[in-house]
Structure 1
Amino acid sequence: MFTLHLDDFSLEHFLQHYWQQKPVVIRQGFQHFVDPISPDELAGLACEEEIESRLVYRKDGEWQAELGPFESYERLGERDWSLLVQAANHWSPQVAALAAPFSFLPKWRMDDVMASYATPGGGVGPHIDLYDVFICQGSGRRNWRVGERGNHRQFAAHAALLHTEPFEPIIDVELLSGDILYIPPGFPHDGVTIEHSMSFSVGFRAKSASDLLSGLADHLIDRELGGALMSDPGRPVHHEQGRIDAGDFARIKAHLRTVLEDDALLADFAGSYFSKTKCQLDLQELEQPFVEAELVAELARQGLTRIGGLRCFYVDQTVAQGVCYVDGERFEFGAAGRGAVLALCDHEHLSHALLKTWLRQPAFLAALTQWVNGGYWYFED
């Protein structure tokens, strides 16, 4: 549905010279771009309790922000406000399709696709993001200013808005429909809408060491792992009671290293942790669930589509055992199921031809039937 068009450089050049290094404007990255969702449809999503949405506007010169759901926008007038819907790709297959052109980056790094509608003068103010973002301009026009990465002072313009001090732009550009602005983490930026417009931000998030260690601790606790006590038999007499000496410090590091060097344990953690979705999924459980034979027959008639936002991965260290992770859960199908795992995780759409070898494996067929009945994959008809 969407095809990324690069005139000035290749994907390899982009990754070597821009990714995580400096911002760049990609003119007509999407040619003949058509909004995957209309303003009215976006407003409809923002009516739903389970969907994360925000209104950002200015009142009497002061920044304001509200969290959804929202029922009406008439009070806001025709200027200076924006509606933002997080993880719109979870709820709209058309928005989800916008992520496909960015598959030159691994899915585990992706965050979501945020969709926004803004009136003239609308924006969220100058700010700094902690993730990589491809801002895809839809209908209308928006002016973007991007500053250099540096030690910028940030402050709360509102309880829900973290802004940054004025900055000197290194990019000052008007985006037209189909243009893309890539911004790495740490670069201040500010977008102001020129006319009623739509914008779609494809975000890629990295995790800090503290995030990963916190997640690993939860993983160990939930699975009752890493409970072995540190030991120090044969230690020498200790004379300075307040001291943690070099030998003890080395024992502490070694004890932690036993967890960090356990590849199987870390593979399970990484697969489970990164396959969990941050925002709610649009799961529609079937009222009339399939039995396995019916599922195979229907798959022969039409393919399955993964719901927007569903994350499923495998890790090199454990894929030989047919291990994969779907929405935070671990599944293992044995060595003979390795191909099924690759097909399942590497493809957004599943056909009978793609899966036929593994549909004869009871464990995989049972899991696939469970996923379809739970709404993780669906038949379009």
Structure 2
Amino acid sequence: MNYQLNINWPDFIKNYWQKRPLLIKQGFTNFIDPISANDLAGLAMEDEVDSRLVSFQNGSWNVTHGPFDSYDQLAKTGWSLLVQAVNHWHYPSTALIAPFRVLSDWRIDDLMVSYSVPAGGVGPHIDQYDVFIIQGLGRRHWRVGEKIALKQHCPHPDLLQVEPFAAIIDKQLEPGDILYIPPGFPHEGYSIETSLNYSVGFRSPTSRELFSSFADYLIANDLGNYHYSDPDIATRDNPAMILPTELTEIQHIMQQLLAQPHIFNHWFGTFISQSRHELDIAPPEPSYTVEQVIQLLCQGNTLYKLNGLRTLNVADQYFVNGEQLISPKLNITAINILCEKQEIHADMLGNALNDKDFMQLVTKLINDGYWYFND
């Protein structure tokens, strides 16, 4: 499926991105759901898939986490099934991510899909990331409020909701409509009828995540073993006092590590190219040889990138799922094609098929389960 998004990107970024919510009527015209409710329910039965059921019955909220073995006990109203990273497990659903890649792969997180019966929802809440909510099957009523301070509470240990708010958007969404919500804007949605919703979420790491990951990287790579030194130490009347110049030197030691591009760029590439959700990695058995890979491509076979695989370019270094691509001599044009495209054909690679180093790298990636032929 080739989804064409009806949006003026320059205008959207200038006026709405991380600024204001926006309802895009018929963002996708003649919208067709990429997944059925039955297939979504089947995914939620798998151990590797992150899923949950959220229900509101008899004035009480409840959350149950998958995998699920049956749905027979569910009521006819008041519940939603939410499945994370559906694009990792269901190939047709990856097509819904493609129109949003204008905003950069490193910021896109995953595609969450929810199936809701009438009155199903998760209550009023606030997210700290950008999200495009695409209406599929059925209709859903959405309310979005201003970005103001609101009291939060937990009606269930796994649910964080906010107090009632005045709406600046109060609309019913129909198939193909898209609701964009920036971080910090309260919102709530309830199904009017049985419906499917698709949420394209954007990754927004916190400073705590970044510092924690950077510290782990330094330890794992035995970096940053600089000792504090003070050859011109100042004496002081109060031995309990730490002088401002000493604090500045401590900050300088830490900032020095962040300021070294070869350390910072490599760390960020390994960090940001890792998926936050499981990948359906299945290395081929037996492994492919370089000759077999070339032959299959030349015979017209398509090489597919693993669903949800993060392939990123950081300062002319290439990273795949937390690993840097290393080759004696990188074929930059071919590597860019490999990282950018979801499907690879022989004519896209051109002379790179004769590049021994490149084809050895491609074969290794296939044998690692990151790219595959659809046998």
Work out whether the TM-score is over 0.5: yes
- How far residue 336 of structure 1 moved from its aligned partner, in angstroms, is 4.4
Aligned partners of 1:238, 1:193: CA distance in 2, in Å?
Answer: 69
Aligned residue for 2:273? Answer: 275
- Gap runs ≥5 in structure 2: none
Please, which moves more after superposition, 82-91 or 243-252? 243-252
Alpha-carbon distance, 1:52 to partner? 0.4
Number of the residue aligned with 1:2: 2
- Which residues in structure 2 correspond to 1:167-316 (within 5 Å)? 167-300=165-298, 301-316=300-315
- Judged with a 3 Å threshold, the aligned counterparts in structure 2 of structure 1 residues 336 and 372 are, in CA distance, closer, same or farther, namely closer
1:337 matched to 2:331? The reply is yes
Can you give the 5+ residue segments of structure 1 that lack an aligned partner in the other structure?
Answer: none
8 Å contact 1:314–1:341 — kept in the other structure? Answer: no
* Cα offsets for 1:237-259 (capped at 9, x unmatched): 34321222121112111111111
Contact 2:34–2:93 (8 Å) recurs in 1: yes
Between the two proteins, what is the percent identity of the paired residues? 41
1:361 CA drift (Å): 3.8
Q: Distance in 1 between matches of 2:364 and 2:146?
A: 49
Letter in 1 for 2:3: T
Count of matched residue positions in the alignment of Structure 1 and Structure 2: 374
Q: Which amino acid aligns with 2:327?
A: F
Matches within 5 A, 1:1-381: 1-6=1-6, 10-300=8-298, 301-316=300-315, 319=316, 323-334=317-328, 336-381=330-375
Deviation at 1:341, TM superposition (A): 2.6
Give secondary structure in 1 for the equivalent of 2:351. coil
Of 348-357 and 263-272, the range deviating more from structure 2: 348-357
Q: 2: CA distance between counterparts of 1:233 and 1:338?
A: 48
User: In the TM superposition, what is the alpha-carbon distance from 1:87 to its structure 2 partner?
Assistant: 0.4
Normalization by structure 2: what TM-score?
0.96
SS at match of 1:64: strand
Per-residue deviation, 1:334: 4.9
Root-mean-square deviation (Å): 1.4
List per-residue Cα deviations over 1:327-373 (Å, max 9, x = no partner). Answer: 00112235543223322222222222232433444443222112212
Q: Return the alpha-carbon distance in structure 1 between the equivalents of residues 286 and 252 of structure 2.
A: 54
SS in 2 for 1:50: coil
CA distance in 1, matches of 2:243, 2:354: 60
3-state DSSP of counterpart to 1:366: helix
The answer as to whether partners of 1:2 and 1:30 remain within 8 angstroms in 2 is no
Structure 1 residues 362 and 230: CA distance shift in structure 2, 3 A: farther
Q: Could you tell me the TM-score, scaled by structure 1's length?
A: 0.95
1:28–1:179 contact (8 Å) kept in structure 2: yes
